[in-house]
């Protein structure tokens, strides 16, 4: 045990004395969360809105002029038929389209109830959501105004359609995404690199010719990165809750537990890489292409898995971050308990066991 502890101590020295790397490791989650956070909460001004007014009466003119008066929108086009909608988006003439049905005025007067439709280009989901929110607010204001003058309350139903990305992924998706990315980088890449570095400078040779069990060396390398990752998880969660107002709807204990599980998955993969490679460059390259890129491309963080072609969808199943991403979204955003994520958890556990067994099996007790 003393051997092990002295190993862990030594690893902390290495990390602590390489201030530059330490700074990157701890600063990276903060920077990433902030960048993504600003991208999300960015104020939208003078966004282009196109209007398909099929009614063309006093009521619709009134509504349109209110939209025009708002600083958020600039009316870029008036469409003549529903067929123009797709073309408008394709030519990038508008980011959002307001559709006023022919019966708008009469419905409002006779039924006290009318419908409008907002269609947004959700390929940029963050902007789309923001625009929909603004537009809805203007319509609600308009509704309040006309209700002031009439005895019977009138209701305008706003029907929202998100084109291209119907589920509107992306709203809070970046927090789980950044978590997966950061853990990946710290655990997989850094563990792999630090073990391979010992091979390069020749200290591994001396370690092997000592009574220390080789496994101890490797596990001791992983411990500091596990702790570092927990610090990162906490800083990401604190930033999300207090700066970005992304709530933690589910259990924090469950969320932490799942994150640590995923950290161990990443560590195991890092150990496996270090057993298979002999140079820091190779280790880094494998870590990047084997874990980091799939995390960005295939976990559902950037692009919805459902929209991918079948081969990619199949491949995404073996990407651990895909399952972790689902778990974090479920626990954090949807507030589900373990009953909602047990399946994904089991998959992650199985992957971890597999990677760990392989890493231990491949670990060389000799050179070559």
Partner 1 sequence: MQSVIVNNLSKSYGKKKEIKAVKEISFEVSKGELFGIIGPDGAGKTSLFRMLTTLLLPDAGNAAVDGSDVVKNYKDIRKKVGYMPGRFSLYQDLSVEENLNFFATIFNTTVQHNYDLIKDIYVQIEPFKTRKAGKLSGGMKQKLALSCALIHRPVVLFLDEPTTGVDAVSRKEFWEMLKHLKQQGITILVSTPYMDEAGLCDRIGLMQQGKILSVGTPAEITGAFKETILGVKSNNMYQLLKDLNANDEVEDAYSFGEYHHTVMKPNFNKETLQQYLEQKGNKELVIQNTQPTVEDSFMQLMKQ
What is the nearest approach in angstroms of partner 1 to the Cβ of residue 227? 19
Q: Would you state the structure tokens that stand for residue 366, as one six-digit string?
A: 């000799």
Phi, psi of 161 (to 5 degrees): -125, 125
CA distance 224 to 2: 16
Residue closer to partner 1 by CB (options 17, 148) is 17
**Which of residues 310 and 365 has its CB atom nearest to partner 1 in the complex?**
365
- Could you list the residues that contact partner 1 (CB under 8 A)? 2-3, 6-7, 10, 13-14, 17-18, 201-203, 205-212, 365-368
User: To the nearest whole angstrom, how small is the minimum distance from the Cβ of residue 266 to partner 1?
Assistant: 24
Residue 1 Cβ vs partner 1, minimum distance, rounded to whole Å: 11
Rounded Cα–Cα distance for residues 257 and 254 (Å): 5
Given phi > 0 = left and psi -120 to 50 = alpha, else beta, which region is 65? alpha
Give the closest residue to 134 by CA, choosing from 57, 38, 60, 48: 48
What's the CA gap between 107 and 117, in Å, rounded? 14
Distance, CA of 200 to CA of 190 (rounded, Å): 15
Alpha-carbon span 301 to 31, nearest angstrom: 18
User: Minimum distance between the CB of residue 204 and partner 1, rounded to whole angstroms?
Assistant: 9
Nearer to partner 1, 209 or 253 (CB): 209
Rounded to a whole number of angstroms, the minimum distance from the CB of residue 285 to partner 1 is: 23
């Amino acid at each position: 045990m003393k051997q092990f502890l002295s190993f862990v101590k030594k690893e902390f020295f290495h990390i602590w004395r390489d201030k530059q790397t330490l700074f990157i490791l701890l600063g990276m989650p903060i920077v990433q969360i902030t960048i993504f956070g600003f991208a999300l909460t960015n104020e939208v001004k003078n966004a282009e809105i196109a209007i398909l007014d099929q009614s063309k009466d006093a009521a619709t003119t009134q509504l349109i002029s209110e939209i025009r008066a708002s600083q958020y929108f600039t009316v870029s086009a008036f469409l003549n038929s529903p067929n123009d909608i797709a073309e408008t988006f394709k030519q990038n003439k508008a980011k959002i389209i307001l559709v006023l049905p022919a019966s708008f005025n009469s419905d409002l007067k006779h039924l006290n109830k009318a419908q409008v439709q907002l269609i947004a280009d959700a390929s940029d989901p963050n902007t789309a959501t923001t625009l929909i929110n603004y537009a809805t607010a203007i319509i609600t204001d308009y509704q309040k105004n006309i209700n002031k003058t009439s005895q019977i309350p009138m209701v305008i139903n706003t029907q929202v359609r998100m084109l291209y990305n119907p589920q509107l992924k992306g709203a809070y998706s970046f927090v789980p995404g950044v978590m997966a990315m950061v853990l990946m980088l710290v655990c997989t890449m850094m563990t792999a690199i630090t073990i391979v570095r010992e091979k390069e400078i020749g200290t591994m040779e001396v370690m092997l010719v000592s009574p220390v069990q080789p496994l101890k060396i490797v596990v001791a390398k992983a411990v500091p990165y596990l702790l570092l990752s927990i610090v990162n998880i906490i800083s990401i969660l604190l930033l999300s809750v207090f700066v970005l107002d992304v709530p933690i709807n589910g259990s924090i204990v469950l969320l932490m537990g799942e994150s640590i599980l995923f950290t161990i998955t990443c560590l195991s993969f890092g150990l496996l890489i270090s057993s298979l490679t002999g140079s820091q460059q190779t280790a880094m390259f494998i870590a990047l292409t084997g874990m980091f890129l799939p995390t960005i491309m295939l976990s559902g963080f950037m692009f919805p898995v459902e929209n991918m072609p079948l081969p990619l969808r199949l491949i995404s199943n073996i990407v651990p971050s895909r399952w972790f991403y689902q778990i974090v979204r479920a626990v954090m955003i949807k507030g589900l308990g373990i009953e909602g994520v047990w399946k994904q958890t089991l998959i992650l556990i199985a992957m971890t066991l597999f990677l760990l067994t392989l890493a231990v099996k491949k670990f060389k007790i000799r050179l070559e």
